[in-house]
Structure 1
Amino acid sequence: MQDGDDLSEMIAEIAEPRKAIERTFLEMGERLISGVKLLRTVSAAHEAMGAEFQGRDFLSVVGSVRALRDEVADIVGHLATDDTGIEQLAETIQRLKDPLDDLGNAVRMLGLIALNARVVAAGIDAGHEDLAAFVAEMTDIGRDARATVRSILGIHTRVCQTVASAQQSHLAFNREQAKIMATISERLRADLATIELQQGRAAAHAMRSGELTSAISARIGDAIAAMQIGDSTRQRLEHVEDILGSIRDRTDDDTEAMLFRLAAVQLASTNEDFVTEVGALSSALDGTRRDAEAVLEEGRERADEILADSSHALTALGKNLQSIVPLLQQDAEMRRAGRKLGEETADAMQEMLGQMDAIEATEHVVQLLRLNMAIRCTRLGESAHGLRVIAAELGAVAKSARSAATGMRQILSHLKHTVEAAREGAARFDVHEVNGDPMAAARLLEAVLGRVKQEAVTLKRAGPKTIGILDGAAERVRHCADGQEVWPDLISTLTAAAGERDFSALTVDLERLAAIRSRYTMHKERVIHDKACGEATVSSDCIDTHEEAGEDLDSLLF
């Protein structure tokens, strides 16, 4: 008979590892469940990143940039074909040169005629005082006319210079503006292509990462399911404890030997299965850990690449959008300059029209003077022949001056319409604007990338935590397996306590054996029980038939 203290010590050698196994596998299960949750967080972060590139804000950015690109391209087209009327204004003002020359010639001729009249009048005795008055008046008219023409020429020169300068500036501005705008349009096209590329990459990345993390989660789920070995081992060890506990309940020698034998084979089978299953679980966890690390690192790197490329696209987009603002400001300056030119030309036109009134009034006075001179010449008879010639020339000059003035007035009237066209052309610069704030798209994209960055932070935090959990679980499994080194010695002790005898010839307590068998929860325990105790010692209603019944019992012990 075995001493009670020895049995208690044997039971303790089983109970303590059983409790440790139970605690270890319970903690591992909780940690692995946490790992699955973290992987779900990782997968959700990848999906959220992909969703941001498919969301309303990002699509709004794409639409805004596309509209901006098209609007800038339209501005380029307008700049290439824009007609503000400045060129036509310059051509019209230039047309004043010929009638102005004619008018100048007529005025000069008026001065020469006045000089000739003075010479001729000096040779006529009769009416000398009247002739002197006519000559003086003619001289005054010529002087006033020359002053008027000089004023008109000054106005014309000033307007020509202003319009020529404006025309040169406008053409240079349009060329440079069109060149810059065309460059910005191409850059916006490239920016748009980049952010649209991120859209496709993010969607593909989210799908791939989701599939990979789901696969890893499934493998961890398999590991969690495999950890039922902890519960099955606990139950089997409890049953071995029950077998040893029943030995203390006044058993006979044969029954005691049979129970020691039964405890030995059950513990040996439990130990063998535990070592095998824990080894497989440890290997599976190590493999899952390596694969998870590779998957999570790949996902993080891809996310970082998308984020970096998108940030680069944001920087480029912001720079290109921001460059539109000063160009539009310069465009507005040119618009104001065009308006100012129109106003200045309109003022000059009014001033020149006023001078035309003076020229036309001069022509009227000259005609009256010519008529009076002709009357005087009639009274003087043949001695006034020279003055009659001068009077005729004076009429021709007056007619020439009037013709030149009429031509200039017609040109100035046309110039009025040209000025209005220039004003309208300057006003058309107003269409050289883009809808809304050019920087709004950049700010919206920045907001999208801000949320993407938060998801990237989640990936960087959740990934290492998941790897740490898998590392810890694998280490606990190995430690748990290494902690069962006492079992082989205990199996030998139990085998020795059973002794070497013919167990088929023993007379045992069948009811006690049947009661022990009834507490088994696994088929394998019943198969081992039947093999150890022998079918002859067990009632027929307790025997399970199974192919595993043929296992070699000695293989469980040795």
Structure 2
Amino acid sequence: MLKRNISTAVYLPVDRSGLDGKLAAAHSRLEKKFLEGGTVLIAIVDILKRLIGSLDELTGALDGQTSNDTIARIQATAKQLAELPGFELTRKGRFESLFGACRTMQSSVDDMRDTMRYLRTFAITVKITGAGLAEFAGFADEIRERIQSGAQEVDRFSVQLAAMHSQLARAQSFSGEISQNYVDTVPTIVRELERDAGKVAEHHRNLVKIANEVKALARGVQGKIATVLSALQIGDITRQRIEHIRSSFEIFDEFRNSAEGAALGEDALARFDGAINHLAAAQMDETLSDFQRECRKVMENMSRFVDDTRDILALRDQMHRQSDSEGRNFLSGLEQNVARASALVSDVQDTSTEADTVAQSTGETAQSLIQGIEIIRSIKTDIHYMALNSNLRCSKLGDEGRSVNVVSGELRVFAEKLEDPANAVLAELKHFEAAAESLSQDRGVAGRNISQPMNEALGSIREVSARMDEGIAAFEREGQEVFSKISAAIGTLDFEHELGDVLQDCLETSWSIADLSDSDVSALGEEIGAASQRIFKLYTMASERDIHRRFLPVAAAAEAAPKAVAVNDDELFEDALF
């Protein structure tokens, strides 16, 4: 507090316009500066909210259930991929078995075709030898047509069998390619998937740990900002106290110009004026002291903010190091491996389309071939009985029918020769049909059953990966923004540096005016009591009233006025921040 020399003089109204102008200017600058400071802090609070929200999104993407689901799908994918080589080897073996059956049947079909050629020859011989016998003319034509239909059926059967043989040859080739592809790629992919599945949970835990540490720091900064915002009340308090000082001048001026003031006399009026000046200087003195103390608290807290945000950036860098050498998060590498597996299955599906088509058609072809061989057998039976009937009729004709009888006997012999290859083909077809059925049941297993969990795993990984990328990017962006805003706010919130000189000037001017006058109004209690009481009622702080009592008398009614309610600074901005 400045020293003051109390002097007495003939009363002349003190010109306080200069002081009042300085107080008005200080009031305006306080309002503007503290509004800017509060706006900056609220902006930081908003960024912190977004930062915590982004981290909540990130930890939500990495929750335990998500990790477990992802791991389960990856493991299911790896397991089914590992089964592909064995499956394809089994399918390749079935194709080889069917291919071998086709070759075996083709040999029997060749025998049947040779037999049918002989039968056609004997049918012509029957026509020739029975030319003179009217009753054999129709028989010759009938048996020739039957043999011809049998030959056509054998030829049709042979064509079907040859087509199936060709299809199976291609299917064998495709299946061999697929098997080799599996051998070359599947083991590596399976190993990588199993390795990555083991790392997923650990990786998620590390990221969640870092995110939670950042959230704790961010919430700590929020709490400190609440303290600073509470400390910013010093701006409002200082402005109010300046208003109260200026209002005390106005009340005195009103009193001086009133009938009560005129009746008081110059000496008493001068002492009342001096008391007002001393009261203003004392109020300004304490106002500046409180202002400086609270502003230093603000700067101390702000310096801690910077330390906390540096820690947040350090954790941000630590999270970034969880990414691979190319800057991608861990799941990006995992996604690549699952995508490779998915692409493998897709390629296999494309490559095995024809093999699957063969697998589908083998059962149908087997049924058609069985029907064909049964037709051939029925034709063989028809030829046998037609020839037998011819023998019986020839026996009744004696020597005249001897030549036809001989040829008919040969027909029966060669018709019987169809039996063995036909039976052999039929037996082979039974095995062929069973193998075709197994192949048909396996059709699509390599692609359909594996694609679904693989695609589900890939979709889940991509979703989590995208959410992680978004969360980390938001964290990095908002963490940097918090640091930049707080660093910039240091200057904005240095109220003592910005406003201290202004308030100090107001204080010095106040004391320079106060030092010119006497402030003893102890004998003027009743005369100035009403004006004093009006000034006393302006105050919102107990400290203002204490200072007032030192310089002016206070009526009992004013003393009984309720005091300001204490406010818990820690709770003041709780609703606004959390």
* Equivalent residue number for residue 521 of structure 1: 541
Structure 1 segment 20-35 matched on structure 2, within 5 A = 20-35=29-44
Deviation at 1:465, TM superposition (A): 5.3
Match of 1:424 among 420, 427, 437: 437
The AA in structure 2 aligned to 1:270 is: T
Which is further off, 278-287 or 313-322?
313-322
Deviation at 1:73, TM superposition (A): 4.1
Cα distance change, pair 195–158 in 1 and its aligned pair in 2 (3 A): farther
Structure 1 segment 233-248 matched on structure 2, within 5 A = 233-241=238-246
Distance of 1:12 and 1:151 partners within structure 2: 125
Distance of 2:97 and 2:523 partners within structure 1: 125
* Equivalent residue number for residue 51 of structure 1: 60
Cα distance change, pair 71–511 in 1 and its aligned pair in 2 (3 A): farther
User: Does the alignment pair 1:212 with 2:229?
Assistant: no
Structure 1 segment 84-95 matched on structure 2, within 5 A = 85-89=94-98
User: Does the alignment pair 1:332 with 2:349?
Assistant: no
The AA in structure 2 aligned to 1:320 is: A
Deviation at 1:334, TM superposition (A): 0.8
Match of 2:521 among 509, 513, 516: 509
- Give yes or no for contact 1:240–1:266 (8 Å, CA) kept in 2: yes
Distance of 1:500 and 1:100 partners within structure 2: 139
- Give yes or no for contact 2:275–2:519 (8 Å, CA) kept in 1: no
User: Does the alignment pair 1:485 with 2:501?
Assistant: yes
- Give yes or no for contact 1:84–1:425 (8 Å, CA) kept in 2: no
The AA in structure 2 aligned to 1:522 is: A
Deviation at 1:220, TM superposition (A): 0.9
Distance of 1:486 and 1:103 partners within structure 2: 122
- Give yes or no for contact 1:338–1:423 (8 Å, CA) kept in 2: yes
* Equivalent residue number for residue 177 of structure 1: 178
Cα distance change, pair 337–94 in 1 and its aligned pair in 2 (3 A): closer
3-state DSSP of counterpart to 1:508: coil
Which deviations, in whole Å up to 9, do the C-alpha atoms of 1:342-381 show, x marking residues without a partner? 666777777778888899999999999xxxxxxxxxxxxx
* Equivalent residue number for residue 263 of structure 2: none
3-state DSSP of counterpart to 1:427: helix
Deviation at 1:340, TM superposition (A): 4.8
The AA in structure 2 aligned to 1:521 is: M
3-state DSSP of counterpart to 1:475: helix
Distance of 1:14 and 1:190 partners within structure 2: 73
Cα distance change, pair 420–36 in 1 and its aligned pair in 2 (3 A): same
- Give yes or no for contact 1:275–1:481 (8 Å, CA) kept in 2: no
Distance of 1:175 and 1:521 partners within structure 2: 94
The AA in structure 2 aligned to 1:218 is: G
User: Does the alignment pair 1:287 with 2:304?
Assistant: yes
Which is further off, 183-192 or 212-221?
183-192
Distance of 1:363 and 1:507 partners within structure 2: 152
Contiguous gaps of at least 5 residues in structure 1:
107-149, 369-390, 535-539, 543-558
Deviation at 1:445, TM superposition (A): 5.4
The AA in structure 2 aligned to 1:219 is: K
- Give yes or no for contact 2:76–2:453 (8 Å, CA) kept in 1: no
* Equivalent residue number for residue 491 of structure 2: 475
Deviation at 1:329, TM superposition (A): 3.2
* Equivalent residue number for residue 227 of structure 2: 222
Distance of 1:95 and 1:167 partners within structure 2: 14
Count of residues in Structure 1 that have an aligned counterpart in Structure 2: 499
3-state DSSP of counterpart to 1:481: helix
Cα distance change, pair 464–5 in 1 and its aligned pair in 2 (3 A): farther
Bigger radius of gyration among the two: 1
Which deviations, in whole Å up to 9, do the C-alpha atoms of 1:287-342 show, x marking residues without a partner? 31453365267449848967942455445544532442231233332122245556
Deviation at 1:45, TM superposition (A): 2.1
Cα distance change, pair 399–277 in 1 and its aligned pair in 2 (3 A): same
The AA in structure 1 aligned to 2:29 is: A
User: Does the alignment pair 1:19 with 2:28?
Assistant: yes
Distance of 1:497 and 1:101 partners within structure 2: 135
Deviation at 1:157, TM superposition (A): 11
Deviation at 1:420, TM superposition (A): 0.7
Cα distance change, pair 55–37 in 1 and its aligned pair in 2 (3 A): farther
Deviation at 1:278, TM superposition (A): 1.4
Cα distance change, pair 512–66 in 1 and its aligned pair in 2 (3 A): farther
3-state DSSP of counterpart to 1:426: helix
Distance of 1:417 and 1:297 partners within structure 2: 74
Distance of 1:475 and 1:3 partners within structure 2: 45
- Give yes or no for contact 1:212–1:295 (8 Å, CA) kept in 2: yes
Cα distance change, pair 176–303 in 1 and its aligned pair in 2 (3 A): same
- Give yes or no for contact 2:277–2:514 (8 Å, CA) kept in 1: yes
The AA in structure 2 aligned to 1:281 is: V
Distance of 2:503 and 2:359 partners within structure 1: 102
TM-score where L is the length of structure 2: 0.61
The AA in structure 1 aligned to 2:234 is: I
Deviation at 1:38, TM superposition (A): 2.8
Deviation at 1:48, TM superposition (A): 2.1
Which is further off, 208-217 or 492-501?
492-501
Cα distance change, pair 154–6 in 1 and its aligned pair in 2 (3 A): same
Deviation at 1:20, TM superposition (A): 1.9
Contiguous gaps of at least 5 residues in structure 2:
1-8, 116-150, 257-266, 390-405, 554-558, 562-578
Distance of 2:111 and 2:272 partners within structure 1: 149
Deviation at 1:31, TM superposition (A): 3.6
TM-score where L is the length of structure 1: 0.63
Distance of 2:486 and 2:524 partners within structure 1: 45
- Give yes or no for contact 1:25–1:227 (8 Å, CA) kept in 2: yes
3-state DSSP of counterpart to 2:500: coil
Match of 2:425 among 394, 412, 416: 412
Cα distance change, pair 282–12 in 1 and its aligned pair in 2 (3 A): same
Deviation at 1:415, TM superposition (A): 0.6
The AA in structure 2 aligned to 1:229 is: I
Cα distance change, pair 55–196 in 1 and its aligned pair in 2 (3 A): closer
3-state DSSP of counterpart to 1:509: coil
The AA in structure 1 aligned to 2:521 is: D
The AA in structure 1 aligned to 2:499 is: G
Structure 1 segment 430-449 matched on structure 2, within 5 A = 430-432=443-445, 433-434=448-449, 436=452, 439=455, 442=458, 446=462
Deviation at 1:224, TM superposition (A): 0.6
Match of 1:38 among 36, 47, 50: 47
Distance of 1:232 and 1:25 partners within structure 2: 11
Note the aligned Cα RMSD (angstroms): 6.3
User: Does the alignment pair 1:270 with 2:291?
Assistant: no
Cα distance change, pair 50–499 in 1 and its aligned pair in 2 (3 A): closer
- Give yes or no for contact 1:42–1:458 (8 Å, CA) kept in 2: yes
Deviation at 1:485, TM superposition (A): 1.5
The AA in structure 1 aligned to 2:442 is: F
The AA in structure 2 aligned to 1:324 is: V
